[in-house]
Amino acid sequence: MAEAQNSRILITCPLRCDQRTILREGGIFTLPLDRFKMSIIETLSEPTVDENICATHDERIKHFCRDCNELICSECVLDSHLGHKSSKLEKTLAEDLGVKLKKILESVSDEEAANRMLEGVIARKTTNVLRKSKLEEEGAILEEKLEAINDELENVENELERDENLTDTISTNLKEFVRSSKKALKDLEEDRLKVDQFVGKYCNALKSYQMFEEFQPIPKNSSTQFRFLFCCFQLLSIIFLATELLQR
């Protein structure tokens, strides 16, 4: 079915594929073919042939030529296939069926063996996967423990470093204390010497003071000349003691 649309011819596929396409200048021969549908049409158009009838002698096929690997009739055995190795079709089919059945059984056995082998591979693979998963889990646990041990070691190292710093501080302070103590003892020794000197001077002064206390007062009713000489003597004694103290 074709129709015109804007000076173009549209055609619908006659095989009912529900596809509309533009008909070009070359006509329907330029249209693409559906190979699958065309093969169906060609198959349906071919005449029916009875495959069990010999095309040469028009007799039913009953034999199989092993040399030519062809289906033949009884006339073919005596004609074109004379002297060839042939056998009854039923026997050939039975033998062929037996061979195919044997191959099928062998393939089934091979398939079962392959399945068993595959099951073994899958079992080993599953075991390996489970083992790998377990090893990964144990590895993760060991890694966590190792990390905890490393943290503990780091804490111990920090504590040792703090203790070392504290020891250094204590040692420094102790050395400073010893140095200060030595200096204080030296200063104390010097002060003690000064105190001893001061005490010695104080004792000497005290003795001198006691000497002053031993001076006798001027007797009463003494003459003027005696009192003058007595005062001069005491004055000289005082000057002598003062000079001695200054020299010490």
pLDDT at 109 over 80: no
Same domain membership, residue 233 and residue 221: yes
Q: Give the least confident one: 22-31, 54-63, 96-105, 142-151.
A: 22-31
Same domain membership, residue 194 and residue 145: yes
pLDDT tens digits along 112-156 = 777 777 788 788 888 888 888 888 888 889 888 888 888 888 888
Same domain membership, residue 125 and residue 145: yes
Which pLDDT score, from 0 to 100, does residue 177 have? 82
- Domain annotation covers residue 74: no
- Domain annotation covers residue 235: yes
Same domain membership, residue 242 and residue 203: no
Same domain membership, residue 229 and residue 154: no
Same domain membership, residue 245 and residue 161: no
Predicted model pTM = 0.28
Residue where a domain terminates, one of 46, 66, 82: 46
Tokens of 41: 């049409």
Same domain membership, residue 204 and residue 222: no
- Domain annotation covers residue 113: no
Which pLDDT score, from 0 to 100, does residue 4 have? 47
Looking at the 3D structure of the chain, how many domains does it have?
3
Same domain membership, residue 227 and residue 207: no
- Domain annotation covers residue 153: yes
Please give, one letter per residue, the 3-state secondary structure of 17-85. CCCEEEECCCHHHHCCCCHHHHHHHHHHHCCCCCCCECCCCCCECCEEECCCCEEECHHHHHCCCCCCC
Expressed as residue numbers, the domain containing 185 is 121-214
**Torsion angles phi and psi, residue 125, rounded to 5:** -60, -45
- Domain annotation covers residue 248: yes
pLDDT tens digits along 19-30 = 666 666 666 556
- Domain annotation covers residue 40: yes
- Domain annotation covers residue 207: yes
Q: How far apart are CA 83 and CA 240, in angstroms?
A: 183
Same domain membership, residue 198 and residue 221: no
Higher pLDDT, 16 or 184: 184
Task: Assess contact for 3 and 22: CB atoms under 8 A.
Answer: no
Task: Assess contact for 87 and 63: CB atoms under 8 A.
Answer: yes
- Domain annotation covers residue 231: yes
Residue % of the chain over a pLDDT of 70: 54
Tokens of 28: 């329907």
- Tell me the mean pLDDT in the region 82-90: 81
Residue 1, classed as helix, strand or coil, is: coil
Same domain membership, residue 38 and residue 21: yes
Tokens of 9: 């011819």
Same domain membership, residue 223 and residue 191: no
Tokens of 102: 């044997």
CA pseudo-torsion sign 244, 245, 246, 248: positive
Average pLDDT, the chain: 72
Higher pLDDT, 26 or 52: 52
Same domain membership, residue 201 and residue 161: yes
